[in-house]
Amino acid sequence: MILIVDSGSTKSDWIAIDNNGKQLLEKLRTKGLNPEILKQEKLKKIIKKHPDLKAHKKEVTHVFFYGAGCGTDRGKELVRAALTEVFVNAEISVEEDTMAAVYGTINHDTEAAVVCILGTGSNCSYFDGKKLHQRVQSLGYILMDDASGNYYGKELIRDYYFNQMPEDIKVSFASKYNLEADYIKYNIYKQPNPNAYLANFAEFMFLNKDSEYILALIKKGIRVFVKNYIMQYKEELKSIPVHFAGSIAYFSQDQIKEVAKEMGFTVGNFERRPIEGLVAFHTKKLKQ
């Protein structure tokens, strides 16, 4: 049994296949396994808690894991150690989530493209057809992650408290969430996964896209992301597309295309969850 995992900060998708690429179990889901946020024991606990993973752990021969927080050697080693303790008979491969986005969005194995992730967090890299190049090192959700779910959650809460929301949006926002200051501060400063907590608020945008305020907010975040991330690859953008992965990107396609036209780059593919592309990629590799 081969496990392919696409893990963000909020959730992780798991697919089990055999050596011919046949899916063996229904797609599984666990909480996110970000080693920048969770300790090794917590990572291991989340994996062991899923009944199907627990039941089949000795049958697993390979794990191909792609995750948020795995862009550093430290992050990779924490996840690898947790996976090794659970899947004792398996070879473990751990890569950053950007590679999942690459394999999940490019049109063929050697296509050059700029590939962006807009989910709970955000990232952007250049894939030259063989290797990944990253010109901005992530400093995490507090300092970076422009146009991500946690970025938009933060912006919505700030606009609410600074009285910068239209009144009808403000009333709707307050009716959907607990916006008491102590409750918000408790979740941000005292609870694990504050980035995932903030990202939960982003759903509100996509339920209220008929609002000019919301559309302006979405485009504001995308412009910041393009300026800080995508424009690091100005020369490459002259001849290659920009692909996008993640829920925020998927539900902001129209706004991304508008900003792309403004700022002069070519939009390629959108993939909400890259794991299907990962399965196709690894199935092909297994058969070679």
Per the listing, tokens 């970000």 go with: 34
Q: What is the mean pLDDT of residues 108-124?
A: 92
pTM (two decimals):
0.83
φ/ψ of residue 101, rounded to 5: -65, -40
Q: How far apart are CA 115 and CA 260, in angstroms?
A: 14
How many other C-beta atoms lie within 10 A of the C-beta of residue 216?
Answer: 11
Residue 111, Cβ density class (10 Å: 0-12 exposed, 13-18 middle, ≥19 buried): middle
- The pLDDT-based confidence of 127 (bands split at 50, 70, 90) is very high
* Residue-level pLDDT at 109: 83
The whole-number average pLDDT for the span 228-243 is 96
Burial of 220 (0-12, 13-18, 19+ CB in 10 A): middle
Mean pLDDT of 154-163: 98
Where does the pLDDT of residue 36 fall: very low under 50, low under 70, confident under 90, or very high at 90 and above? confident
Average pLDDT of the residues of the chain: 93
What SS3 state is found at 163? coil
Edge-to-edge strand list for the sheet holding 122-127: 132-133, 122-127, 113-118, 242-245, 267-271
- pLDDT range class, residue 56, cuts 50, 70, 90: very high
**148 pLDDT above the threshold of 90:** yes
- pLDDT confidence bin for 244, thresholds 50/70/90: very high
The phi and psi torsions of 91 (rounded to 5 degrees) equal -80, 135
Please compute the mean of the pLDDT values over residues 43-69 and round it to a whole number. Answer: 94
The whole-angstrom separation of Cα 156 and Cα 205 is 9
| pLDDT for 64 | 95
The span from the CA of 40 to the CA of 23, in Å, is 29
> How far is residue 215 from each of residues 155, 173, 218, 251, measured CA to CA in Å?
13, 15, 5, 12
| Mean pLDDT (whole number) for 141-149 | 94
Look at strands 2-7 and 62-67 and give their pairing: parallel
Looking at residue 279, its pLDDT comes to 86
- In sequence order, the β-bridge partners of residue 79 are none
250-286 per-position pLDDT tens digit: 999 999 999 999 999 999 999 998 887 888 888 877 7
Domains of the chain listed by start with CATH number = 2-101+274-287 (3.30.420.40)
Contact 147, 161 (CB under 8 A): no
Q: Is the pLDDT of residue 226 over 90?
A: yes
pLDDT number for residue 288: 64
